């Protein structure tokens, strides 16, 4: 049970504000924003998603730079409220096509319509995009999608590190396409976030894949869909019976959207569902089985005199040459007494930039694109303001990396086929199955 | 149409731009109200949007209420909805105008479109105006019987809203009974869910006064009803499922078969993608099996994987909520998670609130087989750029060390931290080494060797400094420099701002003294003297205590200060297990995130274990009891037996509690102390003279003194002990020989005296100590005290300063009058520098 819901812009303006129970004072948005902004004076710590000020509990999630906030005085389930906030953001996105400050401001009346039906007197009524359709009468004013980033599947990941704003489909569930006809299509995205920690000698210390099969359906008449995964897929660690030595995909655990029926899952690894409107995760999975990391990072540090050192970073792309990774950023914290860095890229390097962020003494190396099988090297000559004492590796590193690799997935989990129950022989909607791998925490220690 | 940007943001309607715009809106709305022109709805929409956008950003648009209602006569549903939203927002502050809306809302409640009926009913019940409730009962009754489920869903919540506006109207209309009927019979699960939540709220509210309500509330937990809900659970929305599961938690099954039936039924809920459903299910499992130890363990195993999946699949915020619960489970049963420790490794891009939780979990799950790996990982974080996390990591290493596994390897790591030459790393490591030594004294040799190399000047954080001083005291026999380091720390007593450090310093010097008397004697005298003069009550009291203890019996003192110590086997936990159990009972609530138990409807208990020593808060002044004096006077001889410290040198000083004085003068200048008459220069005030600081004083270091070569040296460590008479008056020892002089203060000095405390501070540097001060500007009055170095001669100075004329009158009293003139010169020179240095 929540008392208020509001959305704040990055500057702290109310974009929508809804008071459901009148139990929390009106100035709560301001109190909240001040608290979040000045959580710790040094600014090093972020405010946690849940905190209590004078008996009022504030919950917030950040979505595309906006703060979705709920307040309550009751001792509620934090998961429930945070999940709800995330879900409200998703429903709004389903309706507006694009979720950002601009679209929210343009469509705030529609958002109020949604909020009226999603929550009544502080209690959740429904968050189903489909059910809500019959209660929403405002037409969404779609913001110009052309101004946004290109619609490549990778574009989804450019908006934040761990955040998952969803697929690049920026089409409202209610808006009609020009021409008044809706295109029959369905998107299935297999999105994997990978986390790898390499030891200083290059061994893999930990590795994990967190994956989601995301679906967004624009099919009319809600036909039943069958999604077939790898037949040799097994779930639960230690369950090696069927897969021993066969190189099968072993998931640690997974969960499913409530629309998914698992009647045949144990038999042939197929998921059956009638996809509701809007975007939703069909399945989330987690895997700690070993996999081949897409990038290897080599770091070499050579001390050159008392006030100088050279860092050599080498990044090798260990995936097929048919695949191209993009927006690769390599970062490395340098000793805090570093004053100057001279970079030396390999000859003929294209689309690579280097930077020394003086504020936090960080080296940044960005590569626009990397083709599978290639290798790139950066030499950085460091100048220090004081003499090195002890080991430079204690003062610098680790090297971290972010990247996005479209049409690649590290887990080898696959959607073998996507079957749509046929209405007629001519019914043949577009089916998009896309794979994307993204770095979550990709770290090499030095 | 977007809400105006920030510049227009104004909480008050009086703001010019806001006001004129609202007036503008008002007239435009009025024009449209009666219009039936085609396209009028579109213009209305635009205007309504404007009104709502002002409302959102906090501009008061309640003045257009009448116009909004007039415009609401429309069939356009979008307009209607905006109007409903507006009315719901302002009805409460405009109860009279709200009456205007009743008519059209009641009419809409009978509309043939169920959507309109539902919307109107929702708005009607949201008006929240007490004297309009009579208009609500009829539509609600009709709504509850409506054949459209949407209307019923709205009506049920409407009943709850009515209950909050007027309890009696709700009860008198017998709505709870109607809801109960719907709860058991309605086909729509959302109606059922809303009935359940409404009835829970109503009966909870009524249970304290009505026995029936209590019974009804218990009836919700009856077996048939619980089974009725459980059997339909998949028909409920995911949110309603949470509601049902919350109810099931309270159900007490009759036997274990029932428990297994329920768990089997709910098993697949653990695979739900919604974390709230999974956690609610986990809570049911955990609570059902509380009495079945084995099964309870299996439940932990069963819920582990789904929770870990939720942590890694959701947004960082959702991860955090689930991780908090995993944290609770890990703390409850670390062994269940001992193989999963890698899941709790921190990722570099995680927010620090997540990292903190993970570090605690890593600490808890470490066992024999994993300690080495976990500590290795933690050591990586210690070099992290994120300093708070680096600190936490070092603390975590220390905690693991205290858990007894593989201490050997950990001690090495900790000692490496000490050598890392990062201030905060050294600081944290010192605190840990201290704790470690308290538990494993056998490591003292290795640790002390490294600790001895740390320069105390590089340690600034109070906690770390205190730890270092503790080790210096405790292991002074093994650290050759210990007495000298302590001595130099004592010399800088006044620069040490943390009372905690000063307390530790006192104790350490005492300990050291018993181990190496000749070398420490000097430091002890200085420390005790400084401690007695300390403004901090605790420091003062401890110094006094040590002093009396030494006076009383040195052997006893040694037993008190340096008893044979047993290694600490377990450090007290900051949170009692009782509280932890209660938090566990509140699984899936905010209590878990805050790690505090929920107390009362809106409050969470304060953090436990926050009672730290050495807080710098003001200690309330208290008057030292008169028998204190007797106690002091009664033990003059004991010191003689201490060859180490006493040579019988008598130094006389009136007894006075300095902390009382400093507090009294700062807080209440009108106390007798500031009153020259009461300051008691009359001889009949009885004298209280005792040798108080004979101990160690002769050996106290001679301070550097102002003009060179000084004819007179004062004892820097001299402290003046005064006591208050039982009546609270101050007794000041008076000597008949005195020297009075007129001096002048430099203009800078007079200016600096706008804050009178600066003078005593200044003179302190010249070994002249303030006893009391008072008066009102421009006439200030100070009493000072000084003691001749290496001799017992003391000087008392009364100093009256007129800050406007910069004239000073001093009266010096000395027991050795021959020194008065010399002292006067010294005092003058000290005073002349005031304000210039």
| Interval A182-195: pLDDT, tens | 678 888 999 999 99
Give B121-142 pLDDT, tens digit per residue. 999 998 888 888 889 999 999 9
d(Cα A394, Cα A334) in Å, to the nearest integer? 10
Q: Considering only the top CATH level, what class is B739-832?
A: alpha beta
Chain CA centroid to CA A312, Å: 31
- Closest Cβ opposite residue A79 in set B128, B275, B602: B275
Question: Could B237 and A126 be called an inter-chain contact, meaning their C-beta atoms sit closer than 8 Å?
Answer: yes
* Residues of A (350-369) whose Cβ lies below 8 Å from B: 360
What is the least distance, in Å, from the CA of A342 to any CA of chain B?
Answer: 22
What length does chain A have? 446
pLDDT of B711 strictly over 60: no
Confidence tier at B263 by pLDDT (50, 70, 90): very high
Topology annotation, domain B4-234 = 1.25.10
Confidence tier at B33 by pLDDT (50, 70, 90): confident
**Given this model, what pLDDT does residue A246 score?**
53
Return the higher-pLDDT residue of B601 and B146: B146
Q: What is the DSSP string of B323-343?
A: HHHHHHHHHH-GGGGGGGGGG
Tokens (6 digits) for B833? 């520098």
Average pLDDT (B434-443) is: 83
pLDDT of B679 strictly over 70: no
**Given this model, what pLDDT does residue B715 score?**
56
Radius of gyration of chain B (CA): 39
Question: Can you state the percent helix, strand and coil of chain A, rounding each to 5?
Answer: 15, 40, 45
- Closest Cβ opposite residue A82 in set B318, B325, B420: B318
Sorted by where each begins, the domain ranges of chain B are: 4-234, 235-306, 314-441, 577-608+616-698+710-724, 739-832
pLDDT of A334 strictly over 50: yes
Query: Which residues of B fall within a CB distance of 8 Å from A195?
Result: 347
Average pLDDT (B457-477) is: 88
d(Cα B182, Cα B298) in Å, to the nearest integer? 38
**How many inter-chain contacts (A to B, CB under 8 Å) are there?**
235
pLDDT of B619 strictly over 80: no
Residues A193, A438: contact at Cβ < 8 Å? Answer: yes
pLDDT of A213 strictly over 60: yes
- The candidate with the shortest Cα–Cα distance to A173, out of A186, A164, A155, A157, is A186
* Residues of B (296-325) whose Cβ lies below 8 Å from A: 305-306, 308-310, 312-318, 320-322, 324-325
pLDDT of A308 strictly over 70: yes
In the sheet where B769-776 sits, what is the strand order? B738-744, B807-814, B794-802, B779-787, B769-776
Question: Could B352 and A44 be called an inter-chain contact, meaning their C-beta atoms sit closer than 8 Å?
Answer: yes
Question: Could B348 and A46 be called an inter-chain contact, meaning their C-beta atoms sit closer than 8 Å?
Answer: no
What is the least distance, in Å, from the CA of B58 to any CA of chain A?
Answer: 8
What pTM does this model have?
A: 0.76
Average pLDDT (A143-167) is: 42
d(Cα A65, Cα A72) in Å, to the nearest integer? 23
pLDDT of B724 strictly over 60: no
Number of H helices and number of E strands within chain B?
A: 37, 7
Return the sign of the alpha-carbon dihedral for residues B123, B128, B131, B136: positive
B56 and A CB contact within 8 Å: yes
- Closest Cβ opposite residue A253 in set B237, B306, B594: B306
- The candidate with the shortest Cα–Cα distance to B312, out of B286, B340, B284, is B340
Mutate to test the interface with B, among A9, A60, A67, A75 (most CBs of B within 10 A): A75
Average pLDDT (B141-168) is: 95
ipTM over 0.85: yes
B347 and A CB contact within 8 Å: yes
The partner residues of A70 in beta bridges, in order of sequence, read A5, A59
**Given this model, what pLDDT does residue B277 score?**
96
Query: Which residues of A fall within a CB distance of 8 Å from B190?
Result: 125-126
Query: Which residues of B fall within a CB distance of 8 Å from A253?
Result: 305-306, 308-309
Tokens (6 digits) for A83? 């999940």
Residues A428, A183: contact at Cβ < 8 Å? Answer: no
Average pLDDT (B389-408) is: 81
- Asked whether this chain's domains B4-234 and B739-832 adopt the same fold, the reply is no
Question: Could A82 and B321 be called an inter-chain contact, meaning their C-beta atoms sit closer than 8 Å?
Answer: yes
Residues A205, A216: contact at Cβ < 8 Å? Answer: no
Query: Which residues of A fall within a CB distance of 8 Å from B308?
Result: 252-253, 286
**Given this model, what pLDDT does residue B576 score?**
66
Give B349-385 pLDDT, tens digit per residue. 888 889 989 999 999 898 888 888 898 898 888 877 6
Query: Which residues of B fall within a CB distance of 8 Å from A329?
Result: none
Candidate from A427-436, B189-198, B275-284 with smallest mean pLDDT? A427-436
B753 and A CB contact within 8 Å: no
Q: Which residues of B30-48 are buried (b: 16+ CB within 10 A; e: fewer)?
A: eebbeeeeeebbeebbebb
**Given this model, what pLDDT does residue B603 score?**
59
**Given this model, what pLDDT does residue A237 score?**
61
Average pLDDT (B330-344) is: 89
Average pLDDT (A319-339) is: 91
Candidate from A64-78, A426-440, B171-185, B738-752 with smallest mean pLDDT? B738-752
């Amino acid at each position: 049970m929540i008392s208020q819901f509001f959305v704040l812009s990055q500057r702290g303006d109310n974009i929508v504000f809804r008071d459901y129970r009148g139990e929390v004072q009106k100035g709560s948005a301001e109190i909240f924003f001040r608290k979040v902004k000045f959580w710790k004076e040094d600014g090093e710590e972020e405010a946690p998603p849940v905190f209590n000020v004078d008996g009022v509990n504030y919950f917030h999630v950040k979505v595309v730079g906006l703060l979705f906030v709920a307040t309550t005085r009751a001792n509620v389930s934090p998961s429930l409220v945070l999940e709800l906030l995330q879900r409200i953001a998703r429903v709004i996105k389903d309706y507006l096509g694009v979720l950002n400050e601009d679209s929210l401001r343009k469509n705030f009346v529609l958002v109020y319509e949604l909020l009226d039906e999603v929550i009544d007197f502080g209690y959740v009524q429904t968050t189903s995009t489909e059910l809500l359709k019959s209660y929403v009468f405002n037409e969404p004013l779609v913001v110009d999608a052309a101004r946004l980033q290109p619609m490549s599947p990778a574009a989804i990941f450019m908006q934040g590190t761990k955040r998952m704003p969803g697929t690049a489909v920026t089409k409202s569930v209610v808006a009609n396409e020009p021409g008044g006809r809706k295109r029959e299509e369905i998107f299935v995205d297999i999105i994997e976030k990978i986390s790898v920690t390499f030891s200083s000698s290059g061994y893999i210390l930990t590795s994990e894949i967190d994956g989601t099969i995301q679906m967004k359906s624009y099919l009319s008449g809600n036909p039943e869909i069958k999604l077939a995964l790898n037949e040799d897929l097994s779930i639960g660690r230690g369950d090696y019976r069927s897969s021993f030595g066969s190189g099968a995909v072993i998931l640690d655990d997974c969960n499913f959207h409530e629309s998914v029926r698992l009647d045949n899952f144990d038999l042939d690894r197929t998921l059956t569902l009638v996809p509701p409107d809007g975007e939703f995760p069909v399945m989330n999975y987690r895997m700690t089985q070993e996999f081949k990391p897409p990038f290897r990072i080599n770091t070499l540090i050579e001390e050159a005199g008392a006030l100088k050192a050279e860092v050599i970073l080498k990044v090798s792309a260990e995936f097929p040459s048919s695949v191209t990774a993009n927006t690769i950023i390599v970062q490395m914290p340098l000793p805090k007494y570093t004053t100057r860095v001279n970079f030396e890229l390999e000859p003929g390097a294209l689309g690579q930039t280097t930077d020394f962020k003086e504020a936090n003494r960080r080296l940044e190396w960005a590569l626009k694109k990397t083709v599978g099988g290639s290798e790139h090297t950066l030499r950085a000559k460091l100048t220090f303001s004081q003499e090195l004492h002890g080991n430079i590796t204690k003062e610098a590193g680790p090297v971290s990396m972010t990247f996005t690799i479209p049409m690649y997935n590290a887990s080898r989990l696959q959607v073998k086929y996507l079957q749509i129950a046929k209405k007629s022989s001519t019914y043949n909607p577009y089916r998009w199955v896309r794979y994307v791998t993204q770095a979550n925490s990709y770290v090499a220690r030095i | 149409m977007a809400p105006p940007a920030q510049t227009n943001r104004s909480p008050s309607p009086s703001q010019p731009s806001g006001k004129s715009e609202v007036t503008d809106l008002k007239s435009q709305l009025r024009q449209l109200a009666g219009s039936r022109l085609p396209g009028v709805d579109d213009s209305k929409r635009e205007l309504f949007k404007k009104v709502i956008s002002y409302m959102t950003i906090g501009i008061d648009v309640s003045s257009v209420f009448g116009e909004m209602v007039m415009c609401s006569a429309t069939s356009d549903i979008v307009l209607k909805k905006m109007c409903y939203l507006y009315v719901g927002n302002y009805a409460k502050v405009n109860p009279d105008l709200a009456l205007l809306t009743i008519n059209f809302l009641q009419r809409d409640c009978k509309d043939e479109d169920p959507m309109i009926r539902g919307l109107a009913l929702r708005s009607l019940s949201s008006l929240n105006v007490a004297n309009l409730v009579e208009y609500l009962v009829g539509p609600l009754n009709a709504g509850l019987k409506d054949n459209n489920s949407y209307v019923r869903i709205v009506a049920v919540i409407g009943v709850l809203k009515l209950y909050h506006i007027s309890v009696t109207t709700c009860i008198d209309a017998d709505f709870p009974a109607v809801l109960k009927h719907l709860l058991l019979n309605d086909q729509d699960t959302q109606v059922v869910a809303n009935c359940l939540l409404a009835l829970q709220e109503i009966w909870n509210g009524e249970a304290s006064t009505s026995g029936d309500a209590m019974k009804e509330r218990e009836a919700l937990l009856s077996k048939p009803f619980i089974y009725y809900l459980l059997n339909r659970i998949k028909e409920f929305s995911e949110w309603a499922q949470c509601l049902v599961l919350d109810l099931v938690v309270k159900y007490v099954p009759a036997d274990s078969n029932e428990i297994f039936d329920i768990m089997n039924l709910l098993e697949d809920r653990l695979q739900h993608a919604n974390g709230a459903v999974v956690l609610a299910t986990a809570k049911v499992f955990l609570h059902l099996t509380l009495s079945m130890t084995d099964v309870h363990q299996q439940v932990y195993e069963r819920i582990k994987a789904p929770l870990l999946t939720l942590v890694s699949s959701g947004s960082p915020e959702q991860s955090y909520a689930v991780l908090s619960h995993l944290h609770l489970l890990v703390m409850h049963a670390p062994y269940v998670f001992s193989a999963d420790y890698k899941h709790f490794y921190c990722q570099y891009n995680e927010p620090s609130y997540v990292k903190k939780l993970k570090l605690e979990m890593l600490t808890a799950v470490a066992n024999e087989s994993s300690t080495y790996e976990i500590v290795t990982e933690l050591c990586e974080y210690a070099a992290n750029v994120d300093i708070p996390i680096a600190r936490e990591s070092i603390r975590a290493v220390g905690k693991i060390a205290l858990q007894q596994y593989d201490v050997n390897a950990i001690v090495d790591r900790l000692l490496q931290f000490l050598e890392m030459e990062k201030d905060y790393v050294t600081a944290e490591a010192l605190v840990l080494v201290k704790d470690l030594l308290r538990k494993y004294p056998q490591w003292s040799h290795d640790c002390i060797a490294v600790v001895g190399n740390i320069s105390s000047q590089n340690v600034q954080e109070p906690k770390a400094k205190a730890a270092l001083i503790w080790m210096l005291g405790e292991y002074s026999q093994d650290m050759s420099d210990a007495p000298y380091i302590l001595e130099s720390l004592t010399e800088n007593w006044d620069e040490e701002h943390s009372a905690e450090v000063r307390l530790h310093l006192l104790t350490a010097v005492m300990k050291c003294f018993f181990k190496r008397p000749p070398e420490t004697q000097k430091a002890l005298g200085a420390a005790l003297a400084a401690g007695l003069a300390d403004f901090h009550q605790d420091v003062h009291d401890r110094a006094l205590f040590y002093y009396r203890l030494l006076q009383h019996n040195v052997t006893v003192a040694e037993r008190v200060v340096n008893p044979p110590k047993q290694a600490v086997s377990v450090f007290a936990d900051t949170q009692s297990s009782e509280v932890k159990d209660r938090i566990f009972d509140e699984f899936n609530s905010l209590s878990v995130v805050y790690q505090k138990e929920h107390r009362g409807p809106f409050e969470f208990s304060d953090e436990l274990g926050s009672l730290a020593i050495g807080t710098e808060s003001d200690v309330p002044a208290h008057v030292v009891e008169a028998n204190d004096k007797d106690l002091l006077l009664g033990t003059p001889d004991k010191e003689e037996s201490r060859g180490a410290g006493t040579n019988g040198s008598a130094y006389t000083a009136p007894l006075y509690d300095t902390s009382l004085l400093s507090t009294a003068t700062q807080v209440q200048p009108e106390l007798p102390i500031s009153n020259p008459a009461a300051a008691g220069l009359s001889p009949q005030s009885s004298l209280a003279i005792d040798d108080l600081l004979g101990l160690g004083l002769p050996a106290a270091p001679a301070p550097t003194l102002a003009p060179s070569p000084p004819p007179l040296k004062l004892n820097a460590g001299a402290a003046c002990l005064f006591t208050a008479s039982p009546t609270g008056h101050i007794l000041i020892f008076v000597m008949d020989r005195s020297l009075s002089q007129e001096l002048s203060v430099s203009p800078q000095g007079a200016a600096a005296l706008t804050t009178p405390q600066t003078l005593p501070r200044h003179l302190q540097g010249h070994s002249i100590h303030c006893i009391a001060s008072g008066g009102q500007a421009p006439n200030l009055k100070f009493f000072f005290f000084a003691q001749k170095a290496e001799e017992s001669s003391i000087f008392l100075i009364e100093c009256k300063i007129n800050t406007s004329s910069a004239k000073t009158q001093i009266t010096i009293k000395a027991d050795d009058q021959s020194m008065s003139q010399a002292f006067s010169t010294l005092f003058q020179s000290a005073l002349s520098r005031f304000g210039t240095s």
